[in-house]
Amino acid sequence: MFDVRQSPRVRTESRLAWRLLAPALAVILLVTLFPLAWTAWESLHVHDLRMPWRGRPFVGLANYAELLGEVRLWAALGHTTAFTAISVSLEITFGLILALILDRVARARALVRTVVLIPWALPTVVSALLWRFMFEDRIGVVNAVLAALHLPGSATVWLADPIAAWVPIIGADVWKTTPFVALVLLAGLQTIDDAIYEAARVDGATGWERFRYLTLPLLKPVILVALIFRTLDAFRIFDLVYALTGGGPGTATEPVVLYTFDALFQHLRFGYGAASAVLVFGLTLGLAWIYIRMLGIRHRDAAE
């Protein structure tokens, strides 16, 4: 039997494709693999700009051993994990509700979707400063509203409290990124055939039953995709916290990426900071692998 893959035309086109892709692949290797390899190599050395006369002695895994024994790192990882779990859960929930609403909008659909996307379009620093202004203890809108409604909490110094400071951080992140999740889920909703819902109506299914037994199962792969994007992004949170609280009060709201930034650019410990960066990369890669495996399993179960 003639194998099309071995035909001269196919081989010629394959070589042409690789030649056309070679420049793009070279750029990708240059801007991704080289910095990653350099960071990993840097993490095996002591490189302290405060003491340049020490040079860069090779210390192997000593930076990693010091890193894993640092209580502040584990606290930062705990902050990052809690922030990721809470914010992503809220974003998926509110994003699904918003997507269902947008899917039913009939009039001025384009305008409504554009307005909804405004928070996502704003730069993160602008969003952070906006929420910081809202939660200022003396001139903030939040305390003024609570006082006007005679609700508790009107005297809370939000940004100076180790627990309360997380409210504006999580609120800002949910406000900014929920439209992105809604957009992804809306795309998934529009791929569901209306005939399925019509058949369920004919069979007497209620709105809740259609949502529970049709919409959610059919939307699960799309929800998982949104979950992947948001979890990986939330785990690497930096700019929002840096602009809103700076990791304070103290280190109460410090995520692991801000801890890495502090080691690199505040204490100028490039070897130690590189080890922390490699750790963040490894954790993020592990999360991505777990989610991709879950997505693959779901697709395989659906195919069966």
The per-residue pLDDT for range 109-118, each reduced to its tens digit, is 778 778 888 8
Give me the chain's average pLDDT, please: 86
The per-residue pLDDT for range 178-210, each reduced to its tens digit, is 999 999 999 898 888 888 888 888 888 888 888
Asked if 170 and 80 touch (Cβ cutoff 8 Å), the reply is: no
Considering the chain, tell me which residue range(s) the CATH 1.10.3720.10 domain(s) occupy: 43-303
The CATH T-level fold of domain 43-303 is MetI-like fold (1.10.3720)
Query: Residue 80 class from Cβ within 10 Å (0-12 exposed, 13-18 middle, 19+ buried)?
Result: buried
Q: Which residue has the higher pLDDT, 198 or 78?
A: 78
Torsion angle of the four alpha carbons 225, 231, 236, 238, in this order, in degrees rounded to the nearest 10: 110
SS (H, E, C) the chain: CCCHHHCHHHHHHHHHHHHHHHHHHHHHHHHHHHHHHHHHHHCCECCECCCHHHCCCECCCHHHHHHHCCHHHHHHHHHHHHHHHHHHHHHHHHHHHHHHHHHHCCCCHHHHHHHHCHHHHCCHHHHHHHHHHHCCCCCCHHHHHHHHCCCCCCCCCHHHCCCCCHHHHHHHHHHHHHHHHHHHHHHHHCCCCHHHHHHHHHCCCCHHHHHHHHHHHHHHHHHHHHHHHHHHHHHCCCHHHHHHCCCCCCCCCCCHHHHHHHHHHHCCEHHHHHHHHHHHHHHHHHHHHHHHHHHHHHHHHHHC
Side chain identity at 85, as an amino acid letter? A
Written as six digits, the tokens of 28 are: 């990708």
At 6, the pLDDT band (50, 70, 90 cuts) reads low
Written as six digits, the tokens of 42 are: 């840097």
Query: Residue 84 class from Cβ within 10 Å (0-12 exposed, 13-18 middle, 19+ buried)?
Result: buried
Give which of 172, 173, 143 is closest to 157, Cα–Cα: 143
The per-residue pLDDT for range 11-57, each reduced to its tens digit, is 788 888 888 888 888 888 888 888 888 999 999 998 888 888 788 88
Residue 254, pLDDT above cutoff 90:
yes
Query: Quick one: pLDDT at residue 71?
Result: 93
Query: Quick one: pLDDT at residue 304?
Result: 54
